[in-house]
Amino acid sequence: MKARIHPPTRSNLRRLAAELRRGGLVAIPTETVYGLAAHALDAKACRAIFRAKGRPANDPLIVHLLDLTHAEELAEFNDAARRVARRFWPGPLTIVLPKKPCVPGIVTSGGPTVALRAPAHPLARQLLALAKVPLAAPSANPFSYISPTTAAHVQQGLGKRIRHILDGGSCTVGVESTVLDLTHSTKPRILRPGAITAAQLEKVLKRKVATQNRSVKSKAVLLAPGMLERHYSPRTPLRLTTRPVAARQTALIFLRQPAGKQPANVYWLSQRGALEEIARNLYRVLREADAGGYRAIQLEKLPTTAGGLAAALNDRMKRAASR
């Protein structure tokens, strides 16, 4: 079996929506990373996601939907959650709330809460509108490898395990959504940093948002399973450094393009150091360096003064470096 990459024509979208409705798996583009989608209310379809990814069953899935109205059918919203959903949806924000009974246990790893997100990518939205069902979707990569930001990345990782990939080009955000726990409306907590920052959330919620930026080593910890330390990792040993320096069989990844002509082992994440551009390119460049046959990768750290997206980028870079 080799997955087919489908161009986003109207008839392909209709066919893939039908495939999802009858319990099939389809890898879909979102603005953050590609997701491996299945009918969220079909437990059997969701089990197939875990199988295809090799994902442990104690790592729950994010459910994607069109808007707040659809989200309220799946979870118990509070006013704080409604406020952030109205402000940041559609977009790269996932909200964790008490689940309603219709959400199968396989989606939440048996837990009482469900993670919800309305993606902004136009193709994800068209597919949701055509399928008319919520879609459970983790990132479309084999468990613990780097998340995919193109259809070709999905093909490389899961091409032998799934049949359908919808091609939506390169993801515009490039790192996974912010996961915000609002189970207790007065105790908002970021479980995973992303493009929507703590400062943005605090402004809307009008209170302090806790950041649990602590990784856990044990797979048994269900609290925030995405916080497993080794995650988003290349296979080549990677070290974070303030200044990459040439070494034998080593790939060097800089934040911005170095001046002058560079040898093949030199990579960069942006032209001028803009964080949005770094986020967009990070996973692609990590994959390229990982595929280069090097013994080691050195990745330049962000300056400590960087704000905004820096929390998410630092988090992913540290995880990529953890062994």
Closest by CA to 313, choosing from 272, 266, 267, 280, is: 280
**Of 225 and 244, which has the nearer Cβ to ligand TXA?**
225
- Site track for ligand TXA across 124-163, x = CB under 6 A: -------------xxx------------------------
Find the residue with minimal CB distance to Mg ion.
139
Give min distance, CB of 147 to Mg ion, in A: 6
Closest by CA to 135, choosing from 46, 9, 225, is: 46
The answer to whether 63 and 134 are in contact (CB under 8 A) is yes
Query: Which residues fall within 8 angstroms of residue 261, CB to CB, at 6 or more apart?
Result: none
Contact pick of 192, 280, 284, 316 for ligand TXA (by CB under 6 A): 192
The span from the CA of 298 to the CA of 244, in Å, is 6
The item of Mg ion, ligand TXA, none sharing an interface with residue 180, based on CB under 5 to 8 Å by kind, is none
- Helical H segments across the chain, by residue range: 10-21, 43-53, 68-71, 79-88, 105-108, 122-131, 151-158, 198-205, 275-290, 310-321
Q: Which stretch binds ligand TXA (CB under 6 A): 204-212, 219-227, 247-255, 280-288?
A: 219-227
- Our finding on whether 172 is near ligand TXA (CB under 6 A) is no
- Our finding on whether 197 is near Mg ion (CB under 5 A) is no
Give me the amino acid identity at 121: H
The item of Mg ion, ligand TXA, none sharing an interface with residue 115, based on CB under 5 to 8 Å by kind, is ligand TXA
Structure tokens at 128: 């949701």
DSSP classification of residue 114: E
124-143 binders of Mg ion (CB under 5 A): 139
Contact pick of 32, 172, 197, 233 for ligand TXA (by CB under 6 A): 32
What does the binding site for ligand TXA look like in residue numbers (CB under 6 A)? 30, 32-33, 35, 59-62, 92, 94, 96, 108, 111, 113-115, 117, 137-139, 176-177, 179, 191-192, 224-226
